[in-house]
Amino acid sequence: MSDITPHNARNGDFLAWPFFDEAHRRLGAELDAWCTRALKVDHQADTDATCVSLVRELGRAGWLKYCVSASHGGALDQLDSRALCVLRETLARHDGLADFAFAMQGLGSGAITLAGSEALKQRYLPRVASGEAIAAFALSEPNAGSDVAAMACSATRDGDDYVLNGEKTWISNGGIADFYCVFVRTGEAPGARGISAFVVDADTPGLTIAERIDVSAPHPLARLRFEDCRVPASARLGEAGQGFKVAMMTLDIFRASVAAAALGFARRALDEGLARAKSREMFGQTLADFQITQAALGEMATSVDAAALLTYRAAWQRDVQGQRTTREAAMAKMFATESAQQVIDRALQMFGGAGVVSGAIVERLYREIRSLRIYEGATEVQKLIIARELLKDG
């Protein structure tokens, strides 16, 4: 992994914005220094082993403590959206796989933080914070991705247990997770009102990895199969039939952090593009001397700042004003991921053929950003969420 260019010294300027306090500024600086010193990710190595190693390293260094509350081994009294965003942006700017490893510890355990019993919190959250246990969030199904209410994976009550049957797919950390927060149909009511959530340990009989899924930017990903998988009723997260609400509350917290990760990718691409434009000689001048390049850089920088403002507005409104930020988080996620794709594409174009060489930084960013426009709600779904919230307020 090459060093981040000196231009990145300016990337911390946004932390001077009034969205943040001194603790966030210190957090960003400390993580940036740690990443420069400690992150030595080999992208040709085994992805599973690399992700497990990253979780352990992030845990030992204390960064995963921001994924859980202080009462269960975390750093802060409650989840802080601004801290999560600063951490994800910084990690993504350095390495996408490190961001993935961090993000899944938060998303994978978020439902436990929000709705778990005290016994479940004590059992899982301290190990998430230390990096000893790897978490996963199992919501999507082969025919229920964006339309979560269409899920078919079910759980039937049997005495003090529930018996799970069905499949989940596109599950990040699938195959390496120690436990899964699984959302299934329990049938208390039609549609979304008949879904419940459970914590299922990876070694529970009846839970198998049906398929490992390879994607353009390698991450641990799998399809899960549940066949008469028995879990105790005490493993349920919240009340029966409240699983959809728990899932949406979890996504509301972490959706803004997806925008922050996209922002980190975009900042890195801008850095790489700027360095390339200033050093690449063409026709007796540098690439940066061409007005068409200057125009591209101007648009890229503006897109980065606009995405940052939307992202940190959403995080600030949740943390400081205590507002429900469904609309704001959707706006941030939609704009940051879509604009990051454009920024990265333009940066790659500045490299010409060198930009598509496998393993090049901009080539890696190009593959990394694409999935962010899909997961935790595709761009098209974010538009619907924004419109629905507008119509509701009207």
Q: Encode pLDDT of 189-223 as tens digits.
A: 888 889 999 999 999 999 999 999 998 888 999 99
Domain of residue 326, CATH code = 1.20.140.10
- Domain C-terminal end among 240, 274, 307: 240
Rounded Cα gap, residues 9 and 5, in angstroms: 8
- Asked whether residue 110 falls in the same domain as residue 140, the answer is no
Identity of residue 193: R
Q: Rounded to a whole number, what is the largest CA-CA distance in the chain?
A: 80
CA 322 to chain centre: 22
Q: What's the pLDDT tens digit per position in 233-285?
A: 999 999 999 999 999 889 888 889 999 999 999 999 999 999 999 999 889 89
- Domain C-terminal end among 107, 133, 159: 133
- Asked whether residue 256 falls in the same domain as residue 229, the answer is no
Identity of residue 198: F
- Catalytic one of 141, 167, 272, 376: 376
Q: According to the model, what pLDDT value does residue 12 have?
A: 60
DSSP one-letter code for 45? S
Section 38-47 average pLDDT: 82
Structural domain of residue 323, as residue ranges?
A: 245-393
Statement: residue 2 has pLDDT above 60: no
Burial 16-43 (b: 16+ CB within 10 A, else e): eeebbeeebeebbeebbebbeeebebee
Dihedral angle of Cα 371, 376, 378, 381, to the nearest 10 degrees: 180
Is 321 among the domain residues? Answer: yes
Q: Which residues lie closer than 8 Å to 352 by C-beta, 6 or more apart?
A: none
Is 5 among the domain residues? Answer: no
281 is known as an active-site residue:
no
Alpha helices, H only, the chain? 22-38, 47-61, 81-94, 96-115, 118-130, 243-279, 291-319, 326-351, 361-372, 379-393
Statement: residue 149 has pLDDT above 80: no
Domain tally, the chain: 3
Statement: residue 11 has pLDDT above 70: no
Statement: residue 322 has pLDDT above 50: yes
